[in-house]
């Protein structure tokens, strides 16, 4: 049976690793390489590494640095940040990314999703969607690390990206991010129900029950989390052990 | 030798092979294949594009010649799919035809999503050197939308998804895995170690 993945997210704000709240108030939480080594030693399911400044600064991914990171990882890594054309995508795969996440760029250039899917197969194309919940209860997508609001609803946008060839959706609540008060179960459910491709729930995990709930109640294929692993004693393995008690299939290393 | 045909995560494969003690290099030159003790055909990408690159570079013919002479080959993910007779990703395309079979799109069953992404188990259908020291039901990392549709003789393991599919194949000195051993942690490294220890001309 396919296992539900628990994925630590590494936010890379050169030169270090950071974690914020609501995509703001960034705190340094160490450096990337040791974190990758530790997560590999603990045999995590997968890692997500996002260069959070590259796109806004208009620079390409730092391939050399990323190669050093991926070389320490014997589990899959999704890499995002700074990709604006299919050549960047290809270079990231070459330096060891297993999947590439696209976010801000696809609002202006949605065809990049299909180009990448046609060239490299849709399985490595991760469409990343950040969204906020507005005061009247509506949802809107946003880009540039949450700083620009887009006139798009996450469900509609996810459907469009799926139809363009995205292989997976990384769905992140900006409001919940870093709060550790739980995922946005409602919109996550709406997105998973509208799609046929896997959805990674992200933003808000504060305990293992949050993770189990977004899988069982909202249909997420994987859960991503950062603060819970950076700032608490909770670990991906313990999360999976808890999820297993809830009947969720997970990969437990024997 | 790791074949560079413009498709895929070459450095990850190289790094993992080095981790298990292999001396390896990446090359896009057909003549290097002839001198290699064993070859790995990695791959992330679409079948049609992959085959086009292998043919235009002159690699396709040399790979077939080398394996006929007994050089061990490991195909990974797309690299495994390219070993088949033909594939349908990006339109009907002839493969290397080293292991009989067809690459078809996976059909999701109730509650399943395609692409098949994540860790899933393998069920042995035959005893094989590939899985020496690796238990039945071990999880490996998959990320794909197409699968190898083949006869039972060449299937080494199956995996329960989309109605069950062949997750690794073998034919004499030619091995293929649908999952990524280089990204499957310890079990994956063990499989790579088994590959580099294939006796030549088995």
Interface of A with B in 203-232 (CB under 8 A): 221-222
Where exactly are the structural domains of chain A? 5-245
pLDDT band at B90 (very low <50, low <70, confident <90, very high): confident
SS3 A176: coil
Average pLDDT value for residue range A210-218: 98
Identify the active-site residue in B116, B154, B171, B182: B182
Contact between B145 and A98 using a beta-carbon 8 Å cutoff:
no
Average pLDDT, chain A: 95
Size of the A and B interface in Cβ pairs below 8 Å: 121
- CA-based nearest distance A166→chain B, Å: 10
pLDDT in tens, A113-133: 999 998 888 999 999 999 999
Closest CA in chain B for residue A46 = B118
Asked if B190 has any chain A CB less than 8 Å from its own CB, the reply is: no
Query: Both ends of chain B: CA-CA distance in Å?
Result: 19
B193–A contact, CB cutoff 8 A? no
Average pLDDT estimate for B42-67? 92
Q: Of the residues B77, B124, B144, B147, which is catalytic? A: B77
Residue B114 sits in a domain of what CATH number?
A: 3.40.50.880
Q: Give the pLDDT score at B163.
A: 96
Q: Averaged over A103-113, what is the pLDDT?
A: 97
Query: How confident is residue A253, by pLDDT bands cut at 50, 70 and 90?
Result: confident
Query: What residues pair up with B94 in beta bridges, in sequence order?
Result: B86
Is residue B202 predicted with pLDDT exceeding 80?
A: no
- Would you say residue B201 has pLDDT above 70? no
Q: What is the mean pLDDT of residues B154-164?
A: 97
Check if CATH label 3.40.50.1820 holds for domain A5-245. no
User: Does A99 reach chain B within 8 Å, measured CB to CB?
Assistant: yes
- Candidates B52, B91, B185, B192: best to mutate against A (most CBs of A within 10 A) is B185
Number of Cβ within 10 Å of residue B57's Cβ equals 16
Q: Is A114 on the interface with B (CB under 8 A)?
A: no
What number is the average pLDDT over the span A197-218? 98
Range of the domain at B75: 2-197
Mutate to test the interface with A, among B113, B158, B179 (most CBs of A within 10 A): B113
Spatial separation of the C-alpha atoms in residues A246 and A248, rounded to whole Å? 6
B18 near A CB under 8 A: no
Is B82 inside a domain boundary?
yes
**Residue B105 is among the residues annotated as catalytic for this protein:** no
**Helix, coil or strand: residue A172:** strand
pLDDT at B115 over 60: yes
Residue B197: pLDDT band with limits 50, 70, 90: very high
- Asked if the C-beta of A67 comes within 8 angstroms of chain B's C-beta atoms, the answer is yes
Q: Looking at the predicted structure, is the pLDDT value of residue A62 above 50?
A: yes
Q: In this structure, is residue B202 part of a structural domain? A: no
Mean pLDDT value across residues A12-39: 93
Q: How many domains does chain B have?
A: 1
**3-state SS class at B47:** helix
Q: Is the pLDDT of residue A217 over 90?
A: yes
B152 pLDDT more than 80: no
To the query of whether residue B182 is one of the catalytic residues in this protein, the response is yes
Q: What is the mean pLDDT of chain B?
A: 93
Q: Taking a C-beta distance cutoff of 8 angstroms, is the pair B46, A121 a contact?
A: yes
Q: Look at residue B35 in the predicted model and tell me its pLDDT.
A: 84
Tokens at B22, concatenated? 């292999």
- What's the angle, vertex CA B77, arms to CA B72 and CA B82, rounded to 5? 65
**Chain A interface includes B26 (CB < 8 A):** no
> Is residue B77 flagged as an active site residue?
yes
**CB pair distance less than 8 Å for A2 and B182:** no
Question: A69: burial class by Cβ within 10 Å (0-12, 13-18, 19+)?
Answer: buried
Q: Which of A3, A11, A2 is nearest to A203 (CA)?
A: A11
**Residue percentage of chain A with pLDDT more than 90:** 93
């Amino acid at each position: 049976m396919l296992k539900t993945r628990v994925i630590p997210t590494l936010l890379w704000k050169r030169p270090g690793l950071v974690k914020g709240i609501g995509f703001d108030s960034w705190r340094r939480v160490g450096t990337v390489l040791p974190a990758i080594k530790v997560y590999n030693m603990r045999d995590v399911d997968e890692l997500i590494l996002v260069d959070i400044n590259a796109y806004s600064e208009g620079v390409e991914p730092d391939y050399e640095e990323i190669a050093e990171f991926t070389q320490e990882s014997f589990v899959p890594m999704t890499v995002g940040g700074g990709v604006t054309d299919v050549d960047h995508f290809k270079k990231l795969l070459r330096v060891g990314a297993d999947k590439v996440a696209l976010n801000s760029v696809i609002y202006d250039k949605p065809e990049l999703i299909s180009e990448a899917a046609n060239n490299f197969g849709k399985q490595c194309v991760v469409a990343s969607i950040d969204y906020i919940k507005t005061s009247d209860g509506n949802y809107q997508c946003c880009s540039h690390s949450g700083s620009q609001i887009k006139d798009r609803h996450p469900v509609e946008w996810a459907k469009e990206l799926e139809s363009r060839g995205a292989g997976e959706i990384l769905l992140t609540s900006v409001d919940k991010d870093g709060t550790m008060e739980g995922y946005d179960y409602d919109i996550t459910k709406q997105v998973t129900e509208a799609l046929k491709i896997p959805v990674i729930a992200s933003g808000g995990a504060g305990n293992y029950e949050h993770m189990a709930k977004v899988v069982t109640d909202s249909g997420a294929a994987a859960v991503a989390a950062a603060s819970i692993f950076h700032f608490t004693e909770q670990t991906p393995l313990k999360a999976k052990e808890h999820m297993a008690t809830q009947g969720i299939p997970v990969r437990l290393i024997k | 030798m790791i074949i560079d045909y413009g498709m895929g995560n070459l450095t990850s494969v190289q790094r993992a092979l080095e981790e298990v003690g292999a001396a390896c290099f990446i090359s896009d030159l057909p003549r290097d294949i002839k001198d290699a003790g064993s070859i790995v055909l990695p791959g992330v990408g679409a079948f049609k594009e992959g085959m086009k690159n292998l043919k235009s570079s002159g690699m396709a013919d040399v790979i077939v010649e080398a394996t006929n002479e007994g050089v061990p080959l490991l195909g990974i993910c797309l690299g495994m799919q390219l070993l088949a007779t033909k594939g349908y990703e990006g339109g009907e395309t002839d493969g290397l035809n080293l292991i009989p079979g067809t690459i078809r799109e996976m059909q999701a069953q109730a509650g399943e999503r395609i692409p098949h992404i994540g860790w899933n188990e393998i069920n042995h259908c035959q005893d094989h050197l590939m899985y020496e020291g690796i238990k039945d039901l071990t999880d490996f990392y998959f990320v794909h939308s197409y699968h190898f549709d083949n006869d039972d003789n060449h299937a080494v393991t199956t995996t329960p998804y989309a109605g069950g599919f062949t997750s690794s194949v073998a034919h004499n000195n030619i091995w293929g895995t649908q999952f990524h051993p280089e990204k499957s942690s310890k079990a994956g490294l063990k499989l790579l170690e088994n590959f580099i220890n294939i006796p030549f001309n088995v």
